[in-house]
């Protein structure tokens, strides 16, 4: 399959490849007639410049690398991250950037993400990850490669995240207003920024209502997985004084927690109210439909693309950190109770 090149167009029109290139790239000083003739030939021949050759000379590939570091082992199927990637993709494509997935291998050789990014010559990367102590992620953040990182706070690169802390507070507001006073928290692993912030919001909320913090009511659910939530809830269920409500730091974890409650012969929300975080697709379909904090994955992806593109276009400036608003979505997993304590 021999593709037509700029040489073919030059030969056909009688102009040099230089002029053809200029006509194609909208250089101002090309004679209108010349340009017209060239563009017609281009149209007729179905010619389109080869991005690889162009990249080699311009040092711009108009590709973004996407780097996934997720602990669920689901890759692209991740219920929250996939929405972020989709939003990022839509926006990036609008600016002519295509997405290319980057892993830690090049062929069969194990390399760093940075090596892979350089190998492919991407203009920037989006890193979508939960664990910001992963040394590979740290290297990424500190590298000179333009990047935007999701769910992390850092001043060494562009970052974007939801207002996780405030989300936690909203949960407590909601539960408190329903009469709950014994509120537990299944936390995300504390080396994740989101886990930390949601926990912080939980504590701020409790303080606001002078509820006091009961350390046995805070249990670590790990990396936001169903199993982690299941196990953490089982810990809580061993307590003498059960909580009446649990704020779970992620929706999948919340589903696991609900499962544990059902297994123990208790009901949601009749015996224990549950609130999640994320508002993934499943949250509205499960029974009971999950009350949760909605993050706008699509917007996060789009804003991430904007950050990255702006960063690339304004080399001089520093880094941006963007925080997105969150919203409480009331569904069926929380219930009003009479205030006991």
Q: Could you list the residues that contact a copy of itself (CB under 8 A)?
A: 1, 3, 46, 48-53, 55-56, 61-63, 74-77, 82-83, 85-86, 89-90, 93-96, 98-103, 105-108, 111, 115, 118-121, 144-145, 255, 281-282, 285-287
The entry of DNA, a copy of itself, none that residue 126 binds, CB within 5 to 8 Å by partner kind: none
> How many other C-beta atoms lie within 10 A of the C-beta of residue 121?
15
Enter the tokens of residue 257: 């927690």
Q: How many CA atoms lie within 13 A of 339 on its CB side?
A: 8
Q: Are 257 and 186 in contact (CB under 8 A)?
A: yes
Q: Given the DSSP bridges, would you call strands 183-187 and 245-248 parallel, antiparallel or unpaired?
A: parallel
Q: Under the criterion CB under 7 A, does residue 111 sit at the interface with DNA?
A: no
- How far is residue 340's CA from residue 192's CA, in Å, rounded to a whole number? 34
Q: Under the criterion CB under 7 A, does residue 312 sit at the interface with DNA?
A: no
The entry of DNA, a copy of itself, none that residue 36 binds, CB within 5 to 8 Å by partner kind: none
Q: Under the criterion CB under 7 A, does residue 28 sit at the interface with DNA?
A: yes
Q: Under the criterion CB under 7 A, does residue 18 sit at the interface with DNA?
A: yes
- How far is residue 102's CA from residue 125's CA, in Å, rounded to a whole number? 9
Residues 213-272 that bind DNA (CB under 7 A): none
SS3 232: helix
Task: Select 35 or 335, whichever has its Cβ closest to DNA.
Answer: 35
CB of 207 to a copy of itself, least distance (A): 35
Task: Select 9 or 274, whichever has its Cβ closest to DNA.
Answer: 9
Size of site (CB under 7 A) for DNA: 30
CB of 98 to DNA, least distance (A): 16
Q: Under the criterion CB under 7 A, does residue 6 sit at the interface with DNA?
A: yes
- How far is residue 250's CA from residue 199's CA, in Å, rounded to a whole number? 11
Q: Under the criterion CB under 7 A, does residue 53 sit at the interface with DNA?
A: yes
CA distances from 278 to 40, 161, 215, 233 (A): 51, 12, 24, 19
Q: Are 273 and 332 in contact (CB under 8 A)?
A: no
Q: Under the criterion CB under 7 A, does residue 57 sit at the interface with DNA?
A: yes
- How far is residue 331's CA from residue 341's CA, in Å, rounded to a whole number? 25
The residues that touch DNA, with contacts defined as CB under 7 A, are 3, 5-7, 14-19, 21-22, 24-25, 28-35, 47, 49-50, 53-54, 56-58
């Amino acid at each position: 399959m021999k593709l037509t090149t700029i040489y073919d167009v030059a030969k056909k029109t009688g102009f040099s490849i230089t002029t053809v290139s200029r006509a194609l790239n909208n250089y101002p000083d090309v004679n209108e007639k010349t340009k017209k003739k060239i563009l017609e030939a281009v149209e007729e021949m179905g010619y389109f410049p080869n991005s690889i050759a162009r990249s080699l000379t311009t040092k711009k590939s108009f590709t973004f690398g996407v780097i996934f570091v997720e602990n669920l082992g689901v890759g692209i199927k991740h219920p929250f991250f996939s929405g972020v990637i989709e939003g990022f993709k839509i926006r990036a494509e609008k600016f002519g950037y295509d997405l290319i997935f980057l892993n830690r291998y090049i062929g069969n050789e194990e390399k760093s993400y940075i090596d892979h990014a350089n190998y492919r010559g991407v203009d920037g990367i989006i890193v979508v990850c939960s664990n910001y102590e992963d040394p590979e992620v740290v290297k990424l953040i500190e590298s000179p490669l333009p990047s935007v990182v999701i769910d992390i706070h850092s001043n060494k690169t562009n970052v974007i995240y939801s207002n996780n802390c405030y989300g936690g507070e909203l949960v407590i507001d909601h539960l408190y207003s329903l009469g709950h006073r014994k509120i537990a928290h299944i936390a995300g692993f504390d080396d994740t920024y989101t886990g930390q912030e949601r926990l912080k919001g939980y504590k701020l909320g409790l303080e606001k209502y002078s509820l006091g913090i009961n350390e046995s009511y805070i249990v670590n659910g790990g990396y936001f997985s169903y199993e982690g939530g299941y196990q953490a809830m089982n810990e809580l269920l061993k307590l003498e004084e059960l909580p009446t409500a649990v704020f779970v730091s992620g929706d999948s974890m919340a589903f696991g927690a609900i499962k544990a409650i059902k297994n123990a012969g208790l009901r949601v929300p009749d015996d224990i109210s549950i609130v999640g975080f994320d508002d993934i697709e499943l949250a509205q379909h499960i029974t009971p439909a999950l009350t949760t904090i909605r993050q706008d994955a699509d917007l996060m992806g789009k804003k991430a693309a904007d950050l990255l593109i702006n960063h690339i276009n304004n080399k001089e400036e520093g880094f941006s950190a963007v925080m997105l608003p969150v919203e409480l979505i009331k569904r069926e997993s929380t219930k009003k109770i009479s205030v006991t304590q």
